[in-house]
Amino acid sequence: MLSEPPHQPALFCPLLSPPIGYGAPEVRAGAMPPAGPRRASSLAALVCLCAARGAPRASGQFLPPGTLRAPPLGSSGCSPEQVKDGEKFGLKYTYKMASEHPPNVAYEDYCAELGGVRVRFNDPCAWAHGQAQLTVAHFDGMCKGATRTIHWHDGADEWGYVSAGRLRTYVASPDGLPWPASNNVLEQHGVWYFPQGWLHGLTCLTPESEGGCVFIIVFRNPVSVPIDNHNLDTTVAQAPDAIAAASLSLGLDVYRKMRPAFAGSGGQPVNAMPGISPLVTMVAPGVCEPDCPQLPETTAAPAAVQHSVERTVQMAGGVLLHQIRTAQFPFAETMSQERTELPAGAARPLVWVTNADGLLVVTSGNITVSLQGGLAGSSNPAEAHTAFTERHLGPGDIAYFPVGRAYWFQEATGTEPASAITVFNVGTWRSIEMAEAVSLLPSWAVSSNLHQSRAAPVPHIYTV
């Protein structure tokens, strides 16, 4: 009934024993407590040492288990007026971010053969009463040498998914553990995870002639994406020259010659103008010709993994669920993903997640989504049992599934396949598959609860 693999206890490094204990615990039922900002230093050191000595499964042996509970409800900061304006055409739990909304930011001079780089992020005030606990950004039209500006997030862990192309990811650890930095190259369907506050960036490696890069980023935070974003250029430009130069390990004279190029970044943050604080910049001419510089690939507890780690579940009608929890991606402590492949006309059956909110992003094709019950309260009790159905969500469009609400989605045309990812705000989500759960319960009770006057032949897996 619970669509998760059995828990595997942590293995100890055969080369070192005993492991040093964890630090201050985080209160979380059934979970081993991590220490420090993210990892216990002693345990992470063992990961590195075990990996260096070739110990089996070193990458996942000492990282904390995936979280089992969604974070406390956070505030999007939306005012009642903003929420009212967002719902002027009706309450929704879907957002046609790509099919009905223009890009929030566009760089038409970058990757011009692909129509320029286009960035969209959802408006948290325009759906789910302004209470959705996950937000999203969609990058399209990136090409070789286009970088997502180095930055960090003050309030969000980040989950990324490569929809097309090859992408280099890089992230620096705050304490050098479990590595000083993780550098990885991802192919299509690869994913990454960057913890809150860790400095990171991305570079597309696929040229325009091959279609460039498309990727999706989901944030474990209800706040609008630009608010939570801190770009390198802005942070440096706002500091005094001597402090900024020292932070870049540059001499003061060298820094002062560089500063005019990004001095405008010290003003308003996150703007479409390249001279202010852009989300995307291009590397200097020649840097990625013929290829972008190579970096050593991080293999022990990496911050990014290929889709080969997925656990695949086959459902009725040829539907495939490709699942990544912390068990498959040990570094990803607080987020996870289910990638769904839908043959023409097929449906992902009724399901609900018991311990996490989910955000669905359509990655190809056309999908109809239905949520069985919204975010109800004393002022809107009927919403608890209302079906919210949206037809024809296309690539880049999104849906929000609050914890504990049943949902299903289906390929909408009947003629072409479709696909989507659903990202959760825990490392190990637990879900109830309706068909499986009902089959575990007494058939005579199921018949009665479906208002049958005679016992109906409801399938079950044991004799009552």
Q: What is the pLDDT of residues 50-100, one digit of tens each?
A: 444 333 334 444 688 889 999 899 999 999 999 988 787 778 999 999 999
Q: Which of 31-35, 152-156, 223-227 has the lowest mean pLDDT?
A: 31-35
Measured CA to CA, the distance from residue 257 to residue 265 in angstroms comes to 16
Q: Is 342 helix (H, G, I), strand (E, B) or coil?
A: strand
In sign, the C-alpha dihedral spanning 215, 218, 222, 226 is: negative
Mean pLDDT of 379-384: 87
**Residue tagged 């492949």 (tokens):** 341
Lowest mean pLDDT across 90-94, 250-254, 267-271: 267-271
- d(CA 398, CA 415) in angstroms, rounded, equals 22
* 349 vs 227: which has the higher pLDDT: 349
**Res. 458 pLDDT band, cuts 50 70 90:** low
* pLDDT higher at 40 or 405: 405
Provide mean pLDDT across the span 440-459.
84
With beta carbons less than 8 A apart as the criterion, state whether 116 and 208 touch.
no
Q: CA 339, CA 357: separation in Å to the nearest integer?
A: 16
Distance from the Cα of residue 293 to its chain's centroid: 27
Query: What is the pLDDT at residue 63?
Result: 81
- What per-residue confidence (pLDDT) applies to 454? 80
Residue 27, pLDDT > 60, answer no
| Exposed / middle / buried, residue 38 (Cβ in 10 Å: 0-12, 13-18, 19+) | buried
Residue 103: CB atoms within 10 A of its CB come to: 19
Say which residue, 134 or 2, is predicted with more confidence: 134
Pick from 369, 359, 361, 367: which is nearest to 396 by CA?
361
Q: Which of 54-68, 127-141, 277-291, 331-345 has the lowest mean pLDDT?
A: 54-68
Q: What is the mean pLDDT of the chain?
A: 86
Q: How is residue 100 annotated by DSSP?
A: T
- Judged against a pLDDT cut of 60, whether residue 360 lies above it is answered with yes
Residue 405 has pLDDT above 50, yes or no: yes
Q: Which residue has the higher pLDDT, 15 or 380?
A: 380
How would you classify the pairing of strands 135-142 and 117-121?
antiparallel
Element (H, E) at 287: none
Q: Residue 9: its pLDDT value, please?
A: 37
In this structure, the chain runs to a length of: 464
Mean pLDDT of 331-344: 98
- Under the banding of pLDDT at 50, 70 and 90, the label for residue 407 is very high
pLDDT given for residue 33 in this prediction: 37
What is the pLDDT, as a whole number, of residue 459? 67
What is the separation of C-alpha 271 from the centre of its chain, rounded to a whole number of angstroms? 23
What is the reported pLDDT for 17?
29
For residue 242, is pLDDT > 60? yes
60-64, 295-299, 337-341, 375-379: segment of lowest average pLDDT: 60-64
Residue 84 has a pLDDT of 85
Q: Which pLDDT score, from 0 to 100, does residue 199 have?
A: 98
Tell me how many degrees the CA angle 167-170-174 measures, rounded to the nearest 5: 160
Write out pLDDT tens, residues 129-185.
999 999 999 999 999 999 999 999 999 999 999 999 999 999 999 999 999 999 999
**Does residue 276 or residue 282 have the better pLDDT?**
282
Q: Quick check: 372 and 405 in contact, CB under 8 A?
A: yes
Predicted local confidence at residue 3, as pLDDT: 54
Where does the pLDDT of residue 460 fall: very low under 50, low under 70, confident under 90, or very high at 90 and above? low
